């Protein structure tokens, strides 16, 4: 190096154990190898043109300057009405609902607003990969418990359930926050009313707060329903509820979500939010506020995605993958150790790389949702795709049967 090249001073990482998120890595690998991307969770079909027109109208009506810090009032009112209609809890749109730049920002801001150095935060793994680094940046300590992986006779994971005993052991006077995620990414597991009651039993005598990540709230199938934390009055009084318009309206790139929480919690949330993003793009908020008025736009989602899930499952049934149940979300988990190929012995990350580069279908290793190496032979496919995309992916996956 040239002696005169200016040097950057030593830059010790605040997150030395963190690399680039698996979703970005797998999407980049899919692009590089022109693979069909069933990895990162996002739709490959367009959003409703009606929604785009409503955003355009907002832009033409000159809604192009800063909106209120907490979000456009019409949108906050719409969110409050939706939650009240679906989950029977009335949030005050002025003091209890804040529009965020997507779910992930809402999660980090909520964590920064309540976790102090030394506080413990309980998460349930497999868990979305943003939780742990956000807790660390707040100075908190992550206490991870694992979902119980229930296995078939042949040892392959079949379904997951909540580890109540471990949760009970993990909660102590240092517990500041417990993060739950229902419907659950990546397993599709859904909390029932009795689960919320049980959680309440665990926390009622403590000061622990709850963060409930419900970004897949409108994707629950087979006639089942989502039980929001908002539907449990005692829990709602100590919870941040996080959701995302990107997931609900097929616009993940717009990065708009919201956080609902009691006034005292929202007040602290907003102190951080105002210096983090300050506010979220204005025309999108107006567009979403108009679009949200028609409940059909979210009430139709279960049927819409259930048809995609069923189509995908039918195709996967022609393969040797073992399918895990998918009661919710737009993710299908499969066990690949049942495949009669040498690669069935690979670890999940290597298998996903191989599947992307050699078979041309990208998936996400479920091991990426754990902090400690956990290998269950399970990978996640996203089925929020056009039928043509799913059909091409299935054709490729079906070739796995014939190998060896």
Applying CB under 6 A, the residues found at the interface with ligand GLN are 21, 23, 40-41, 104, 185
Beta-sheet strands, E only, within 21-174: 36-37, 97-100, 120-125, 141-146, 148-151, 157-161
Of 244, 206, 208, 241, nearest to 227 by C-alpha is: 241
CB-based closest residue to ligand GLN: 41
Q: Smallest gap, in angstroms, from Cβ of residue 4 to ligand GLN?
A: 40
Residue 223, token pair as written in the block: 């006639």
CA distance 152 to 323: 12
Nearest residue (CB) to ligand GLN, 73 versus 130: 130
Q: Smallest gap, in angstroms, from Cβ of residue 54 to ligand GLN?
A: 25
Q: Smallest gap, in angstroms, from Cβ of residue 167 to ligand GLN?
A: 23
CA distance 336 to 37: 18
CA distance 156 to 401: 18
Query: Can you list the alpha helix ranges (DSSP code H) found in 47-102?
Result: 49-60, 73-87
Nearest residue (CB) to ligand GLN, 105 versus 290: 105
Nearest residue (CB) to ligand GLN, 28 versus 374: 28
Q: Smallest gap, in angstroms, from Cβ of residue 41 to ligand GLN?
A: 3
Nearest residue (CB) to ligand GLN, 216 versus 286: 216
Which phi and psi angles does 210 have, rounded to 5°?
-120, 140
Residue 325, token pair as written in the block: 């149940």
- Residue 184's SS3 state is coil
Nearest residue (CB) to ligand GLN, 40 versus 228: 40
Is residue 299 packed enough to be buried (19+ CB in 10 Å), middle (13-18) or exposed (0-12)? exposed
Answer whether 383's CB lies under 8 Å from 334's CB.
no
Handedness of CA 23, 28, 29, 33 (dihedral sign): positive
Nearest residue (CB) to ligand GLN, 284 versus 368: 368
Q: Smallest gap, in angstroms, from Cβ of residue 169 to ligand GLN?
A: 28
Q: Smallest gap, in angstroms, from Cβ of residue 179 to ligand GLN?
A: 14
- Residue 282's SS3 state is helix
Nearest residue (CB) to ligand GLN, 104 versus 282: 104
Q: Smallest gap, in angstroms, from Cβ of residue 236 to ligand GLN?
A: 24
- Residue 155's SS3 state is coil
Answer whether 101's CB lies under 8 Å from 256's CB.
yes
Nearest residue (CB) to ligand GLN, 23 versus 164: 23
Q: Smallest gap, in angstroms, from Cβ of residue 189 to ligand GLN?
A: 14
């Amino acid at each position: 190096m040239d002696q005169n090249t200016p040097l950057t001073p030593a830059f010790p990482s605040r997150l030395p154990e963190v690399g680039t998120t698996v979703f970005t890595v797998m999407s980049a690998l899919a692009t590089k190898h022109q693979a069909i991307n069933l990895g990162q969770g996002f739709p490959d079909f367009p959003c409703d043109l009606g929604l785009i027109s409503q955003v355009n109208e907002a832009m033409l009506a000159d809604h192009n300057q800063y909106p209120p810090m907490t979000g456009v009032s019409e949108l906050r009112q719409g969110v409050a009405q939706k939650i009240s209609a679906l989950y029977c809890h009335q949030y005050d749109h002025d003091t209890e609902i804040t529009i965020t730049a997507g779910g992930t920002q809402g999660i980090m801001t909520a964590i920064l607003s309540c976790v102090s150095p030394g506080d413990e935060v309980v998460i349930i793994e497999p868990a979305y990969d943003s939780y742990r680094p956000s807790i660390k940046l707040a100075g908190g300590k992550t206490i991870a418990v694992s979902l119980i992986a229930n296995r078939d006779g042949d040892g392959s994971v079949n379904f997951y359930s909540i580890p109540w005993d471990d949760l009970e052991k993990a909660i102590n006077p240092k517990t500041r926050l417990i993060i739950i995620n229902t419907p659950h990414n990546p397993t599709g597991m859904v909390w029932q009313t009795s689960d919320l009651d049980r959680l309440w039993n665990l926390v009622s005598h403590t000061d622990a707060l709850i963060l409930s990540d419900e970004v897949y709230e409108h994707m629950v199938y087979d006639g089942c329903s989502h039980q929001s934390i908002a539907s449990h009055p005692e829990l709602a009084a100590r919870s941040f509820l996080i959701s995302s318009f990107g997931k609900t309206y097929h616009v993940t790139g717009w990065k708009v979500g919201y956080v609902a929480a009691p006034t005292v919690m929202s007040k602290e949330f907003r102190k951080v939010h105002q210096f983090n993003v300050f506010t979220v793009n204005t025309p999108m908020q107006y567009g979403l506020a108009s679009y949200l008025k028609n409940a059909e736009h979210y009430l139709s989602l279960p049927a819409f995605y259930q048809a995609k899930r069923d189509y995908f499952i039918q195709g996967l049934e022609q393969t040797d993958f073992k399918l895990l149940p998918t009661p919710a979300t737009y993710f299908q988990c499969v066990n690949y150790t049942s495949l009669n190929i040498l690669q069935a012995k690979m670890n999940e990350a290597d298998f996903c790389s191989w599947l992307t580069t050699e078979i041309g279908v990208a998936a996400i290793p479920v091991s990426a949702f754990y902090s400690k190496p956990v290998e269950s032979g399970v990978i996640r496919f996203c089925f929020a795709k056009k039928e043509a995309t799913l059909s091409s992916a299935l054709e490729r996956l079906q070739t796995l049967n014939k190998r060896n």
